[in-house]
Amino acid sequence: MRIVKNIWAQLHRFVFWALVLSLLWSWIYTFVGDTTRDKKLILCVDAYALDQRPLALRLEDEGLPAGIKMIQVRSFGYDFLGTELEGDLYLMKASILEATLADTPGKLAPLTLPEGMAGYERDGKSWGILVFDPETQHGPAMNYIQYTPLPDPEPEAYYLCFDAAGPHYAGNDGALDDAAWEVAITFLEIDK
């Protein structure tokens, strides 16, 4: 009984050191496995299923733009767009794109589409590059992204859009570089 009382009396020390070690390991993981915002490009994807890390590694294997040390792929939903979701590129359904333009103006940057690329047009501006065509049901990175719901697919077009405040799109004020455009082109060529 005395052993149990002794352990119970020392429990707060065990909890304290467990918390300290947990915080230390999370700091080490962040320090070793992450980088500052100016050296990382973030692709946010709204899809039915997404292999985040394999897609990020594939994009990195295709070559990182100058000044970029890592590409991060995150999953998101429409409700996150109204917050301070940090991203450079957004891959989203047409319905989400329309709602974003209506509900959070200024979140996405207009772009100039290169010759031969289809895009989402509204108010005389292009807001996204067509990535997944619901008629052909084909798009890039289909080994990593499930564009259609299962089991009864009702496909919707997907567009790749640029964040209006992202530091890696030359169309934005104060942009550091045009790495978002380079990664967008690389993404469009995956498994095509």
Residue 81's domain is classified under what CATH number?
3.40.190.10
Q: How far apart are the first and last CA of the chain?
A: 69
Separation between Cα atoms, residue 139 and residue 188, nearest integer Å: 8
Q: Are residues 23 and 63 in the same domain?
A: no
pLDDT at 29 (0 to 100): 72
Q: Are residues 94 and 13 in the same domain?
A: no
Q: Are residues 28 and 44 in the same domain?
A: no
Q: Are residues 19 and 51 in the same domain?
A: no
Q: Are residues 118 and 161 in the same domain?
A: yes
pLDDT at 125 (0 to 100): 94
pLDDT at 80 (0 to 100): 67
Q: Are residues 58 and 87 in the same domain?
A: yes
Domain that holds residue 152: 37-189
Q: Are residues 83 and 129 in the same domain?
A: yes
Say if residue 155 is exposed, middle or buried (CB neighbours under 10 Å; 0-12, 13-18, 19+). Answer: middle
Q: Before 105, cis peptide (omega within 30)?
A: no
Q: Which residues of the chain have pLDDT under 70?
A: 1, 30, 78-84, 152
pTM (two decimals): 0.82
Over residues 40-91, the pLDDT tens digits come to 999 999 998 899 999 999 999 999 999 999 999 999 876 666 666 788 999 9
pLDDT > 90: percent of the chain: 54
Q: Are residues 26 and 58 in the same domain?
A: no
Q: Are residues 25 and 49 in the same domain?
A: no
Number of domains the chain is built from: 2
Q: Are residues 177 and 113 in the same domain?
A: yes
Q: Are residues 6 and 64 in the same domain?
A: no
